[in-house]
Amino acid sequence: MSDPQGPPVPNRIAAHGVIGDMKTIALVAQDGTIDFFSYPSGDGPTLFAGLLDPNKGGNFAFHVVDGTQAYRQIYLPDTNILISRFLGDDGIGEICDYMPIDGSGRIVRRAKAIVNRQKFALSVSPRPDYARVEPKLRAVQGGVKVTWTSTEGKDEAVYLYASFPLSIEGTDIVGDTELEEGEKCWVVLCPGFVENLPVVDRYVSRSFHETRDFWHKWVNRGTYPTFWRELVVRSALTLKLLTSSEYGSIAAAATFGLPEVLGGERNWDYRYCWVRDAAFTLYALSRLGYYDEAEAFIHFLMERAVETGESGLQIMYRMDGTNEMPECELDHLDGYDGSKPVRIGNAAYQQRQMDIYGEFLDALYISTKARGKPAYSVWTKISRLIDWLCGSWHLPDRGIWESRGEPKEYLSSRLMCWVAFDRALRIAEDHSLPADILRWRAERDEIQRTILEEYWNPDIGAFTQFKGSTSLDAVVLLMPLVKFINPRDPMWTSTLKAVRSHLVRDCLVKRYINTQENDDGLEGEEGAFTICSFWYVEALARTGYIAEARLLFEKLHTYGNHLGLFAEELSSAGDHLGNFPQGLTHLSLISAAIWLDRSLNGNRKDPGYFEFKMMEDPDGIF
């Protein structure tokens, strides 16, 4: 959209829905503009990046021309098919957006006049390769061919077809059409050439039904909680869009460069596969009954383990499994709301983060409980990783939040290494698999001792961010979630109260307070981390504060956007910040919802469940 008093401004982060085909994802704003789209893969160069620079980034706008008073955006239930409605004084028009699940890489946009005659306008400004190269446009039968040569010297092309006439204006494509009530038209962006328009016309009709049926069948395979089903389904569908159907990898988010602090430098590229985020995603999907994704990711990660041998795993990979993501700045882009630098790549891939082993083993453990004994070839590689971890768990690292400050002995890393040994032992014992049981158990128990003795600070009554510190970190909320500590343990209830006092505002939770002691190497004070907010809800529920947890969980819903989607953070004004949609947020929402649902239903099948319908709080903290 444009500001009549000044230069174009981006749609707000929260004003978007997402569509995708498990190869890439596009962001569609409420006003009908696709202003973010990486092509041909989710971690590849952008074709449209107007969200990061409305002037130079490029976009794909399709909307009703006259009389629009309001926008309304919804998903067709249980699908990733997005409907954008234009509500005017004299009628209603709508656009249906989706990406077919057939490997074609196409974006299909169907417009319809719902009430009265409607005029639709199309404006497409392709700006390939992060808007670093200029495209060439040429008319072809039924549409326009867009070609360019990337900065790496590769020749690329896409085609734009429409059921109405298009024209070329410089490096833009424009067109308009008027539809009588009930009439439809379409626009299709696709990688390949189509010889005649009727072929596309038939494809648009067929692909809609096939795409809708695919998503319906996928949702129907899952098992969802009684409470908040629609919210959980939307989160699960969003996580599914972040998976790669080709490689089994799972992206942390769909975007790059969206700021964690407006105007600041915390603008990262999250379109890659973090072992941590992917493993958490598998945990959430497995709890809903989706195990195919877990097996695909385990295969993906085991291939990486073979490549790295005895030296452990990287913390992240490209979606195709390659292991280098050099970080660079796109100085020519102005950034979202002036937030610079805009970065692609992520130098964190070179960091050591010991927590990844715990998250991965936890996801594998959940998977084996449903799918049974892991393949011997998989277990052999897992055993080698755990043997390597025996001599490495104590190493200082950058922690779960990948600090760009100095390496430390973080609680998050120590805790998740404990999880790695604990889950490996459980898998080995449950399935009679060969393992160095005595050694693994000794290392697990030693980690437990160090956490209880060296990370407990009696002065603040809490476990702290790293050994010897006085700083709190919301990662402590994972301690009862991963079954490290009994949620009725006085050390835990004291820690929970300290978190409440220092990191929590109502239902909003910061991951830590940036001080000189725990300087993360970056400028700016970030907002509330939504994953931490959902961790807090689940920790409350597991500690017995069910009513409080439910209240805060339902209040958190109101911070989601109009479609139930979440970015990484929330500002002090409640605005969405950071990359969008953020997988960590949606998976933690699913986990919290499942636990709350079981608590409210009195379901004792979960071995971690215990009943506290209402817990007295003598100190009045809650």
DSSP string, 400-431: TTT-SS--B-BHHHHHHHHHHHHHHHHHHHHT
**Using one digit for the tens of pLDDT, what is the confidence trace for 559-578?**
999 999 999 999 989 999 99
**pLDDT for position 521:** 58
Strands (E), 449-594: 456-457, 462-463, 504-505, 508-509, 528-529, 569-570, 576-577
Q: With pLDDT > 90 as the criterion, what percentage of the chain qualifies?
A: 75
Has residue 204 got a pLDDT over 90? yes
**pLDDT for position 8:** 66
- Contact (CB, 8 A) for 17 and 73: yes
Is 348 in the same domain as 477? yes
**pLDDT for position 575:** 94
CA–CA dist 552, 566 (Å, integer): 16
**pLDDT for position 299:** 86
Residue 512: CB atoms within 10 Å: 21
Average pLDDT, stretch 63-73?
86
**pLDDT for position 13:** 97
Is 168 in the same domain as 286? no
Has residue 620 got a pLDDT over 70? no
- Contact (CB, 8 A) for 421 and 444: yes
**Domain termination site, one of 187, 218, 249:** 218
Q: Which residues pair with 63 in a beta bridge?
A: 121
Distance of CA 269 to the CA centre of its chain: 12
Is 158 in the same domain as 255? no
Question: What letter represents residue 306's amino acid?
Answer: V
Average pLDDT, stretch 318-328?
94
**pLDDT for position 125:** 98
Residue 248: CB atoms within 10 Å: 22
Average pLDDT, stretch 347-358?
91
Average pLDDT, stretch 519-524?
60
Average pLDDT, stretch 458-481?
93
Would you say residue 131 lies in a domain?
yes
- Considering only CA atoms, which of 520, 505, 300 is closest in space to residue 400? 520
Has residue 409 got a pLDDT over 90? yes
- Contact (CB, 8 A) for 161 and 204: no
Is 243 in the same domain as 130? no
H-run or E-run covering 383 = helix 376-390
**pLDDT for position 603:** 53
Confidence band (pLDDT; 50, 70, 90) for 524?
A: low
Would you say residue 621 lies in a domain?
no
Would you say residue 3 lies in a domain?
no
Alpha helices in 32-186 (DSSP H): 128-131
Is 197 in the same domain as 236? no
Question: What spatial distance separates the first Cα and last Cα of the chain, rounded to whole Å?
Answer: 44
**pLDDT for position 440:** 98
Is 38 in the same domain as 142? yes
Using DSSP's 3-state secondary structure scheme, residue 95 falls into: strand
Q: Dihedral (C-alpha) 409, 411, 414, 417: value to the nearest 10 degrees? A: -130
More confident residue, 10 or 325: 325
Average pLDDT, stretch 301-314?
73
CATH code, domain with 192: 2.70.98.50
- Contact (CB, 8 A) for 65 and 117: no
3-state secondary structure 316-385: EECCCCCCCCCCEECCCCCCHHHCCCCEECCHHHHCCCCCHHHHHHHHHHHHHHHHCCCCHHHHHHHHHH
CA–CA dist 532, 259 (Å, integer): 18
CA–CA dist 21, 31 (Å, integer): 22
State the burial class of residue 33 (Cβ atoms within 10 Å of its Cβ: 0-12, 13-18, 19+).
Answer: buried
CA–CA dist 12, 504 (Å, integer): 25
Confidence band (pLDDT; 50, 70, 90) for 371?
A: confident
Is 342 in the same domain as 376? yes
**Domain termination site, one of 194, 218, 242:** 218
Token pair, residue 256, equals 């790059």
- Contact (CB, 8 A) for 437 and 378: no
Confidence band (pLDDT; 50, 70, 90) for 469?
A: confident
**pLDDT for position 2:** 41
Average pLDDT, stretch 91-117?
96
Is 408 in the same domain as 450? yes
**Domain termination site, one of 183, 218, 253:** 218
More confident residue, 194 or 228: 228
**pLDDT for position 568:** 95
Is 206 in the same domain as 259? no
Least confident of 128-132, 401-405, 410-414, 437-441: 401-405
CA distances from 137 to 32, 39, 167, 574 (A): 23, 17, 10, 42
Would you say residue 8 lies in a domain?
no
Would you say residue 252 lies in a domain?
yes
**pLDDT for position 377:** 86
**DSSP letter (8 states) at residue 568:** S
**pLDDT for position 248:** 94
State the burial class of residue 64 (Cβ atoms within 10 Å of its Cβ: 0-12, 13-18, 19+).
Answer: buried
More confident residue, 610 or 565: 565
CA distances from 133 to 4, 12, 143 (A): 28, 26, 22
**pLDDT for position 273:** 95
Average pLDDT, stretch 195-199?
80
Average pLDDT, stretch 41-66?
96
Domain, as residue range, for 101: 13-218
Would you say residue 319 lies in a domain?
yes
Q: Which residue has the tokens 């695909």?
A: 296
Q: How many CA atoms lie within 13 A of 355 on its CB side?
A: 23
CA–CA dist 204, 184 (Å, integer): 11
pTM of the prediction?
A: 0.92
**pLDDT for position 6:** 45
CA distances from 160 to 134, 156, 275, 402, 415 (A): 17, 14, 37, 41, 51
CA–CA dist 236, 53 (Å, integer): 30
CA–CA dist 605, 26 (Å, integer): 40
**pLDDT for position 19:** 98
CA–CA dist 325, 350 (Å, integer): 9
Is 81 in the same domain as 203? yes
**pLDDT for position 520:** 58
Distance of CA 534 to the CA centre of its chain: 14
Q: Phi/psi zone of residue 148: left (φ > 0), alpha (ψ -120 to 50 degrees), beta?
A: beta
Average pLDDT, the chain: 90
CA–CA dist 351, 399 (Å, integer): 9
Q: Which residue has the tokens 């069910």?
A: 546
Average pLDDT, stretch 187-204?
88
Average pLDDT, stretch 162-171?
96
**Using one digit for the tens of pLDDT, what is the confidence trace for 248-273?**
999 999 999 999 988 888 899 999 99
**pLDDT for position 308:** 64
Angle between helices 437-454 and 376-390 (to 10 degrees): 50
Per the structure, the count of domains in the chain is: 2
Confidence band (pLDDT; 50, 70, 90) for 551?
A: very high
**Using one digit for the tens of pLDDT, what is the confidence trace for 416-433?**
999 999 999 999 999 999
Would you say residue 474 lies in a domain?
yes
Question: What letter represents residue 49's amino acid?
Answer: A
Query: Buried b vs exposed e over 139-160: b needs ≥16 C-beta within 10 Å?
Result: eeebbbebebeeeeeeebebbb
CA distances from 122 to 164, 542, 596 (A): 10, 52, 46
Would you say residue 507 lies in a domain?
yes
Least confident of 454-468, 581-595, 599-613: 599-613
More confident residue, 360 or 74: 74
**DSSP letter (8 states) at residue 256:** B
Has residue 610 got a pLDDT over 60? no
CATH code, domain with 360: 1.50.10.10
Is 597 in the same domain as 463? yes
Is 237 in the same domain as 207? no
**pLDDT for position 607:** 40
